[in-house]
Structure 1
Amino acid sequence: MAIIEVQSLSKVFGNDPRRAFPLLDQGWSKERIAKETKLTVGVNRVSFSIEPGEIFVIMGLSGSGKSTLVRLLNRLIEPTSGKVLINGKDIVQLSPEDLRQVRRKKISMIFQKFALFPHRSVLENVEYGLEIQGVDKEKRRAKAKQTLELVGLAGLEDSRPDELSGGMQQRVGLARGLANDPDILLMDEAFSALDPLIRKDMQDELLELQATMKKTIIFITHDLDEALRIGDRIALMKDGAVVQIGSPEEILTNPANAYVERFVEDVDLSKVLTASNVMIRAETIAIDRGPRVALQLMRDRGISNLYVVDKLRQLIGVVTAEDSAGAIKSGKTLEDIIIRETPTVSPDVHLALLFDVVSSAKIPVAVIDERQRLLGIIIRGAVLAALSGNSGAEAGEIDERA
């Protein structure tokens, strides 16, 4: 079950905002509506769902509606229409008191400008959310210290925010958001005020924390590289509407329209696509077969090597047509001629790290999982095709297995 489900959520700013809906149905643009009615369409009937533990990135250019959308998810901005279901309960219908409880216990928000209290220590900033919940002082201090240690700030509890670097201040903000153990983190341009190197460090920090926390994170950014790097899925917005939702690979390889295509055209695909995106099916043979069977299979399929696997499809090695023919003449078994030092990679390795392996390998590189099971193989043509924007199936006319 989705932890968050957004159904036809809209926000129109101005007097009598529902006047905008029939105009949108008639195809009026956001600009025309603003000019002729003085209404501003912030979010236009957006729908999506988010799974527990997912990093869901909402991105778009300035004015696309992404920051308005994230504030609708916790009703910092009141929706004009639509539903926001959290664990099946529509928070749009909640009373002020029930909404406060959701904000205190279910959702935390981390802002771009850190929003730290300058007169409070780091520890006091982190425990603030627990303090307003009425948590006992000793318990909230213990929890705040534990969270500061989690984000790498142990020993700085008594410091003031102005004594810390920008990256450290953002870690304090992150710790404060995590201290009350929320199910959902809303992060609005949380790293955009940081220098590029510190920003990358914070992205790494977030991914490392997420590996253990398993929180549901809605992350707002205008930076495509950041979205591709941290997002499990990305929702791309334009003029208040979501124009495409998909994994980073889907957004890059199958843009929904010309706008998305222009948005992603300058992305370095080698740093986004992985081995799993370009691998093709491997031709295999079981370890208990003989060299005659191997040679016949290679002839039938027009290839010059086969990948040897056991009954669990764990990779053992490779046999070639030449070695199989020799084994038939000399009376050797298939096991005698297996090349066991086979180049392998994991499915999540980025293409940028594959160039040296693929270019120097005499046979296609095997893709294996953590159990050593063979998932597929990578040929040079597939890598080049992916980087040029084509799919692995269009990898070119040369198959290095032949």
Structure 2
Amino acid sequence: MSKDFRMGRLSVLAAAWVVARRDFTAILFSRSFFFFLLGPLFPVIIAVLAGSLGSRVDQSQERPVLGVAMQADDARAVERARRELGPSLDDALPRIKLVRSLAQGETYDAAQALVSRRENVAAIVSGSLDKPVLTGPAGLIEAWRGPVSMLSEQARSGRRLAYPVVALKPVASSSATERQGRFATAQGAQTLLFLLTMMLAGMVLSNLVEEKGNKIIEVLAAAIPMDAVFLGKLFAMLAVSLVGIATWAAAGGLLYAAGGVSLDRMPEPAVGWPLLVCLGVIYFAMAYMLLGSVFLSIGSMATTVREVQTLSMPVTMAQLMVFFFASFAMTQPGSAIEIAAVLFPFSSPFAMLARGARDPAILPHVLAIGWQAAWVVLLVRGGARLFRSRVMKSGPARSAPKIGKRRLFLRKSGG
């Protein structure tokens, strides 16, 4: 039997478990938790609808057409060249349309025709096969310069040019594509970790402010160590956040399965998908508790929701800068900047998760998780001491002034 139990006072971990279980149960079975789960669905639905609408718009748009305004023989030669090159280069060549068959010596103003929109084409090629002139928007004619030159050469030669058949020999991946794919995976994992942390860590603030208003926090502080109160609330809000993430992940998995999308189509991380997901959960817990411990300290000093918003804004902006720092460090592997991002506790989870997608080594993650957990303990203890000294006003008792004792004595003696 432990000494704390014999004295009638729970240990820090046991008291933290009591607080965490109480808060977790109260939040999980509340009506607001249901709306909390529905919250992220609305942006997802809007994004899906916008993407679907955008794809329909893209599909409804036809490929741009190249107009041909040349003498009759040249125009027929260009049309014949487009048919001959079509089977092998259809996607690279523009569709063509005869807009004007010119007589000998006749001129044609292609720019005026495009400005007046007399012809439903994106650009017009005029001149002759030896000296073609391409008129149209700058970006489009730059892209079509090569295909128009190829069509003109094919038409001018008057014979079918023999293009060799290219044999294809696919491989799974190359070092460059593998490195680029792992970088994309690291960037996506880092961004997702940041968004989830910033979206969910704010719940710690509101929870503590509500209990301060109801005087519940003072009752808890009188019954159990303040370190246990802070630690229990962190664990409870972390558990609630993990339940929400698991629900959203299950819903997203069903949508991906219904859409026929799988992780096999995504770039493979260096440590593999199962281990990267496990590291993502662990680093989310670390990032959440690191940021949540700071939010607990802020919430313990605030008395109103407006005060919370005022005090938390600098922390939120600082966390955004931390994310940018970790993102930049990801582009400098092995440098002093990456080492600094790994050692700085608030950027360490983001930097290490990106490292897991690029580097297969496991030992650095074990060391980093231990380093981050130590900082969580330090921040929780620091926040608890700040709460006791600033809010609970606990400290060494001061002796009453002598004049107060004299008045008390005179009052008791009836003087």
TM-score range, shorter chain: under 0.3
Larger strand fraction of residues: 1
Return the index of the structure with the highest Cα Rg: 2
Structure with higher RCO (Cα < 8 A, 6+ apart) = 2
TM-score (norm 2): 0.23
Instruction: Say which structure is richer in helix.
Output: 2
